[in-house]
């Protein structure tokens, strides 16, 4: 049995296949970002999903593509967790950027971007990913991601820059007690995922001028930092992966057009495309 997983910071989508690559089932766990989630919690999030535990001894391969898996130490942590659980399996761990490439373009050259809980980009030359910089995560980078916009909304609310009508809805939907917010930001696991929960608020107000302006500013920063420095021609395909890109694709397209670029496709969830890639290309 083979497991394929696309693991973001907020959630991880899993598909189980038999040895003939036929789908058996699919499940979703909480996010498994080893850069921000403690090792014990990583294990708990897997073992608490009974479908995975029921077949753990039958699994021969695990192909996991995850947020936070771009540097050796987090990969080592997650590999240890996976090996302990799926003791009969070969474990393959790669960063979520590679899953985005496989899901979006397969083997063709393109710029591929992620805009979900976190953000990243690469240029795929048809063989290898070329990265501008190492990703330093939600506190330093992650332009135009869910946690980026969550921070913007919190700042605007407390600095009273948020329009009153939207601020009122914000108060009704979230616990805005400063101590509660600081507890989640500085004392609880997954502060990036916590911040991204505020970004979901924008989906309900996507037609409001304030939200459009906030989104546009974030997208412009992402293009400035993560797309334009590749210096590729307008003919280079550009793909975006993730819910932030998907739900605000109209604004994303306008920002791209401003720079003389066209977005080839926006994919909300890459797991189905990733499954197709595995069936066709990985033995």
Supply 38's token pair. Answer: 């403690």
H/E element, 112: strand 110-115
**Does residue 6 sit in helix, strand or coil?**
strand
- Region 99-122: mean pLDDT is 91
Please tell me the distance from the alpha carbon of residue 153 to that of residue 158, in angstroms, as a whole number. Answer: 9
Predicted confidence band of residue 134 (pLDDT cuts 50, 70, 90)? confident
- How much of the chain, in percent, has pLDDT values that exceed 70? 99
Pinpoint the alpha helices (H) of the chain.
39-47, 50-54, 72-85, 96-104, 146-158, 164-173, 178-186, 191-199, 209-226, 243-247, 249-258, 271-281
Residue 276 in contact with residue 138, Cβ under 8 Å? no
Please tell me the distance from the alpha carbon of residue 74 to that of residue 77, in angstroms, as a whole number. Answer: 5
For residue 181, tell me if it sits in a domain. Answer: no
What pLDDT, in 10s, does the model give residues 228-271?
A: 999 999 999 999 999 999 999 999 999 999 999 999 999 988 88
- Region 169-173: mean pLDDT is 94
Average pLDDT of the residues of the chain: 92
Residue 208 has pLDDT above 70, yes or no: yes
- pLDDT, residue 149, reads 96
For residue 29, tell me if it sits in a domain. Answer: yes
- Region 128-156: mean pLDDT is 89
- Region 58-66: mean pLDDT is 94
Residue 282 has pLDDT above 70, yes or no: no
> What is the reported pTM?
0.86
Predicted confidence band of residue 193 (pLDDT cuts 50, 70, 90)? confident
- pLDDT, residue 53, reads 93
What pLDDT, in 10s, does the model give residues 77-96?
A: 999 999 999 999 999 999 98
Residue 111 carries which DSSP code?
Answer: E
Predicted confidence band of residue 39 (pLDDT cuts 50, 70, 90)? very high
- pLDDT, residue 10, reads 82
Question: Going by C-beta distance under 8 Å and a sequence separation of 6 or more, which residues neighbour residue 9?
Answer: 31, 33, 36, 67, 68, 116, 117, 118, 147, 190, 192, 193, 196
Beta bridge partners of 150: none
- pLDDT, residue 257, reads 95
What total of structural domains would you count in the chain?
A: 1
For residue 198, tell me if it sits in a domain. Answer: no
- pLDDT, residue 171, reads 94
Q: Which domain holds residue 82?
A: 2-99+271-281
**Does residue 280 sit in helix, strand or coil?**
helix
Number of Cα atoms under 13 Å in the Cβ half of residue 122: 23
User: How many other CB atoms sit within 10 Å of the CB of residue 244?
Assistant: 32
Which CATH number is 63's domain given?
3.30.420.40
For residue 115, tell me if it sits in a domain. Answer: no
Q: Which of 261, 4, 230 is nearest to 132 (CA)?
A: 230
Predicted confidence band of residue 71 (pLDDT cuts 50, 70, 90)? confident
More confident residue, 74 or 281: 74
- pLDDT, residue 21, reads 85
- pLDDT, residue 107, reads 83
Residue 64 in contact with residue 93, Cβ under 8 Å? yes
Most confident among 1-10, 27-36, 173-182 (mean pLDDT)? 173-182
- pLDDT, residue 86, reads 96
Q: Are strands 90-95 and 23-30 parallel, antiparallel or unpaired?
A: unpaired
Residue 198 in contact with residue 154, Cβ under 8 Å? yes
For residue 223, tell me if it sits in a domain. Answer: no
């Amino acid at each position: 049995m083979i497991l394929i997983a696309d693991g973001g910071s907020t959630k991880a989508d899993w598909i189980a296949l038999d040895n003939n690559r036929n789908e058996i089932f699919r499940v979703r766990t909480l996010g498994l970002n080893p850069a921000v989630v403690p090792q014990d919690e990583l294990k708990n999030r897997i073992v608490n999903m009974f479908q995975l535990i029921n077949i753990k001894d039958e699994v021969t391969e695990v192909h996991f593509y995850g947020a936070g898996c771009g540097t050796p130490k987090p990969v080592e942590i997650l590999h240890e967790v996976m090996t302990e659980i799926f003791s009969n399996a070969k474990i393959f761990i790669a960063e979520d950027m590679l899953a985005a490439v496989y899901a979006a373009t397969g083997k063709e050259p393109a710029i591929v971007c992620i805009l979900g809980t976190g953000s990243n980009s690469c240029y795929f030359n048809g063989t290898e990913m070329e990265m501008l910089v190492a990703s330093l995560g939600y506190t330093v980078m992650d332009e135009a991601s869910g946690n980026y916009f969550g921070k913007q909304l919190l700042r605007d609310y407390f600095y009273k820059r948020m329009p009153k009508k939207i601020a009122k809805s914000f108060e009704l939907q979230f616990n805005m007690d400063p101590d509660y917010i600081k507890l989640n930001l500085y004392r609880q696991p997954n502060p990036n995922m916590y911040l991204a929960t505020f970004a979901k608020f924008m989906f309900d107000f996507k037609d409001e001028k304030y939200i459009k302006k906030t989104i546009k500013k974030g997208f412009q920063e992402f293009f400035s930092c993560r797309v334009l420095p590749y210096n590729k021609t307008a003919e280079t395909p550009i793909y975006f992966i993730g819910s932030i890109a998907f739900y605000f694709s109209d604004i994303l397209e306008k920002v791209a057009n401003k720079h003389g670029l066209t977005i080839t496709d926006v994919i909300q969830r890459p797991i189905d495309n990733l499954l197709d890639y595995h069936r066709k290309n990985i033995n």
